Chains A and B, each alone.
Chain A
Amino acid sequence: MNARRPSTGAVVKGAILAALLVVAFVCPYVLGSYYVSLLSIALIAAILASSINVLAGNAGLVSLGHAGIAAASGYGLAWAYRQGWELWAQLGMAALLTAVASVLYGLISMRTRGISFLMVTLAAGMVVYGMAYRWSSVTGGTNGLPGIRRPEGIAEYWQFYFLVLVAFCFVTLALIVVGRSSFGLTLRGIRDSETRMVSLGYNVPLYKFGAMLVSGAVAGVAGVLAVWHSEFISPVVAGFQESAISMIMVALGGIGTVLGPLVGAVLVTGFQHVLSSVFERWSTLLGLIFILSVIFAPQGIVGGVADLMRRIRRRGAPPRREQLDAEFRA
């Protein structure tokens, strides 16, 4: 029987993932509650960033309004909690509002691309923000909805951390499956050449709509976890800044990479919550790092490292294209 041997790259990736999982599992046993909570925040941010990454990386659609979908989910949970509903009903309301927001986002953006998509999603995010701010009888307005206690079983910080870790792993695995499916391949085709896809008979707007639903579902998970973490929700979570920060996480970590959102989220969260206490101009430093990343590693940190590894492996061999062009000219 011919069992195929995994490539060196796959082995290295597997080893890195296994090591990360072990480190993530051990963290609550060696770190204090503050840093474990910080890791929870980073993982939740990574889930929201992953929801943007699935659109940007596969379909080439950069959203600047995904915090709005996460906020819709969070408000659904928080409102239902305050009505005294059971946990399953709270989650059901969060899922319902996530679906409604995702469908609306999808419907208004399915025929757009590039800057148009970015602007439409930004506008949709601002609509959610406006509703959260103005519809105070339901959302609590600027005061938000406080006192959203976590359910039993995840009430402790370390229990909640493990829930977030499991959610992150589940979401990441699910998005890997999406990326490797026929659907994922189709989205990448749309990213590379929408005109060709249409000429092949693909219903491009429908696929974009489907991608938005998948992405929205992931953002909804982040929304619920964010409310449980802070036990509070306010219009700030739906604002432009939240969406922009998530987009920066994706771009910094590496658009279209599996670990990019996590790397970006850890870095940005670290700057926001750790570096900010010792360095007042932390946001300037973050901006500088972002600019340097765009210039020297436009594929982001993970993409840049992967590219570097590929170059090292291919060192000494002439670039394939140049070789072929030389043959062609001859």
Chain B
Amino acid sequence: MSSVSAVSSSPVPAGDEETALVLDGVTRRFGGLMALSGVSVVLPRGGRLAVIGPNGAGKTTLFRLISGEMRASDGTIRLFGEDVSRVSERVRARRGVSRTFQVSNLFADLSVLDNVRIAAQAGTGRPRRFWWPVRERDDFTVKARTMLERVGLGRRGADRVADLSHGEQRQLEIAIALVVEPRLLLLDEPAAGLSAAERKVLRGLLEELPDGLSMLLIEHDMSLALELVDHVLCLDNGVPLAYGTPDEIRANPAVQAVYLGRRD
């Protein structure tokens, strides 16, 4: 498995096509509030990184900066060797960034199948098909059905999102994020609110992700998060607190203090 390196004082490499993500001193301020400060990470292609930290640590802000939903106040973000710091969220999505949302962000009045289909047809650049009717057997629908089978929602295609349980909605979130065949996947608390059985399904799904797919994961379920990644970045109050392998992070007293409230 590829390794992930957090960079502190040494210069951050610019990265190339084999480097999925480079964050170089990424900072975000909201007026006088410093939400994120000087985050530097290098994630190679196929790397898996968990971002952990207590509520308000800046995890979701970091995701929003990487996806382009929000611009960094300072610092540089590179995707596959290209500086995208000033590039829009839409263009970053077209460069291979796909994300799930902390609170399910689905198309509530569409069927489950259409939710995935709409993602499957995103960014295909096929204007000729623009006016074609949505059919049962077209490429996008077939692709969407395959993805629904993969996440365990194969029988729910015709149902409306409102009829899905919370756990199924989280599965659908992941199906939407995966069907676009991303190069960098950002998962924001995918296991939030899931039952033990649903977490098991989710773990199986994430374990089967293609090797070349790079992943950033925000997750409060430590046992799940640490099993799925090869490195962990711990944030506290917007500042990188610790970085290392899951075993190193488990043994890190500073992380334990932040997570378990033992601040001496």
**Complex: A260 Cα to B117 Cα, angstroms:** 27
Stretch at the interface among A12-20, A81-89, A105-113, A194-202: A194-202
* Residue numbers in A under 8 Å from B165 (CB-CB): 321, 324-325, 327-328
**Among A178, A189, A198, contact of B90 (Cβ-Cβ < 8 Å):** A198
Nearest chain B CB to A140 CB, angstrom units: 39
How far does the alpha carbon of A321 sit from the alpha carbon of B98 in the complex, in Å? 28
Query: Inside 8 A of B67's CB, which chain A residues have their CB?
Result: 199
A200 to B175, CA, bound (A): 12
A56 to chain B, nearest CB (A): 13
Greatest chain A CB density within 10 A among B69, B131, B140 is at B131
- A180 contacts the other chain (Cβ, under 8 Å)? yes
C-alpha gap A193/B119 in the complex (Å): 12
Give 1 or 0 for each of A65-98: 1 = CB within 8 Å of chain B CB: 0000000000000000000000000000000000
Residues B133 and A193 in contact, CB atoms below 8 Å apart: no
Pairwise interchain contact A324-B119, C-beta atoms closer than 8 A: no
Chain A, residues 290-330, CB within 8 Å of chain B (1/0): the string is 00000000000000000000000000000111001101100
Q: Tell me whether B206 is interfacial, beta carbon within 8 Å.
A: no
| Contact call A321/B89, Cβ cutoff below 8 A | no
Collect the chain B residues with CB atoms within 8 Å of residue A185's CB.
110, 114, 117-118, 121, 134
Give chain B interface residues in 72-95, CB to chain A under 8 Å.
89-91, 93-94
Interface assignment of A162: CB less than 8 Å from any CB of chain B: no
The complex places the Cα of A325 from the Cα of B109 at a distance, in Å, of 19
Known: A200-B180, A327-B165. A180 touches B105 (CB 8 A): no
Give complex CA distance A184, B110 in Å.
12
Binds A, one of B1-9, B25-33, B122-130, B224-232: B122-130
- Stretch from B53-61, B146-154, B156-164, B246-254 contacting the other chain: B156-164
**Chain B residue with Cβ nearest A186:** B118
Q: Which one of B110, B162, B167, B168 lies within 8 Å of A188 (CB-CB)?
A: B110
Q: Count of chain B residues with Cβ under 8 Å from any Cβ of A?
A: 41
Query: A189 contacts B159, CB within 8 Å?
Result: no
Q: Is B133 touching A192 in the complex (CB atoms < 8 A)? A: no
Q: Separation in Å of the B147 CB from the closest CB of chain A? A: 14
The reply to whether A321 and B163 form a contact with Cβ atoms under 8 Å apart is yes
Is B131 touching A189 in the complex (CB atoms < 8 A)?
Answer: no
Nearest CB in chain B: distance from A327 CB, A:
7
Q: Quick one: given A200-B119, A200-B123, are A189 and B110 in contact (CB under 8 Å)?
A: yes
The answer to the question of B108 belonging to the interface, with a C-beta cut-off of 8 Å to chain A, is yes
* Bound: A191/B110 CA distance, A: 10
Q: Is the CB of B90 within 8 A of A201?
A: yes
Partner of A328, one of B94, B98, B140, B166: B166
Is the Cβ of B108 less than 8 Å from the Cβ of A201?
no
- Considering the complex, give the chain B residue whose CB is closest to the CB of A196: B105
* Beta-carbon nearest neighbor of A324 in chain B: B165
Is the CB of B106 closer than 8 A to any CB of chain A? Answer: yes
Residue of A with least CB distance to B95 = A201
Partner pick for A203 among B90, B134, B166, CB 8 A cutoff: B90
Q: How far is the CB of B174 from chain A (nearest CB, A)?
A: 13
The answer to the question of A181 belonging to the interface, with a C-beta cut-off of 8 Å to chain B, is yes
CB distance from B194 to the nearest CB of A (A): 9
Q: Chain A residues with Cβ under 8 A from B114's Cβ?
A: 185, 188
Which B residues are CB-close (under 8 A) to A197?
118
Take A199-B69, A200-B118, A201-B90 as given contacts and tell me if A192 and B131 are in contact as well, using a CB distance cutoff of 8 Å. no
B195 sits at the interface (CB 8 A): yes
CB distance from A189 to the nearest CB of B (A): 5
Contact of B134 among A181, A200, A327 (CB under 8 A): A181
**For window 143-182 of chain A, which residues contact chain B by CB distance below 8 Å?**
177-178, 180-182
Docked complex Cα distance between A177 and B89 (Å): 31
Residue of B nearest to A329 (CB): B195
Say whether A320 contacts B163, CB under 8 Å.
yes
Tell me whether B99 is interfacial, beta carbon within 8 Å. yes
Chain B CB within 8 A of A282 CB: no
A180 and B134: CB pair below 8 A? Answer: yes
Tell me whether A183 is interfacial, beta carbon within 8 Å. Answer: yes
In the bound complex, CA of A181 to CA of B163 (Å): 24
Complex contact B134–A328 (CB within 8 A): no
A330 closest partner in B (C-beta): B195
A177 near B105: Cβ-Cβ < 8 Å? no
Q: Which residues of A contact B133 (CB under 8 A)?
A: 177, 180-181
Q: How far is the CB of B37 from chain A (nearest CB, A)?
A: 25
**B204 smallest CB distance to A (angstroms):** 19
Distance between Cα atoms of A184 and B134 in the complex (Å): 9
- The chain A residue with its CB closest to the CB of B91 is A201
Closest 5 CB pairs of A and B: A201-B93, A192-B107, A324-B165, A201-B123, A320-B163
Q: What are 20 pairs between A and B in contact, CB < 8 Å?
A: A180-B134, A181-B131, A185-B118, A188-B109, A189-B118, A192-B107, A193-B107, A196-B105, A196-B176, A199-B98, A200-B176, A201-B180, A202-B123, A203-B90, A319-B163, A320-B163, A321-B163, A324-B163, A325-B165, A325-B166
Kindly list 7 other residue pairs between chains A and B, CB separation below 8 angstroms, not including A201-B94, A320-B163. A177-B131, A181-B130, A185-B110, A191-B109, A200-B119, A320-B159, A324-B163
Question: Which residues of A are at the interface with B, using a C-beta cutoff of 8 A?
Answer: 177-178, 180-186, 188-189, 191-193, 195-204, 319-321, 324-325, 327-328
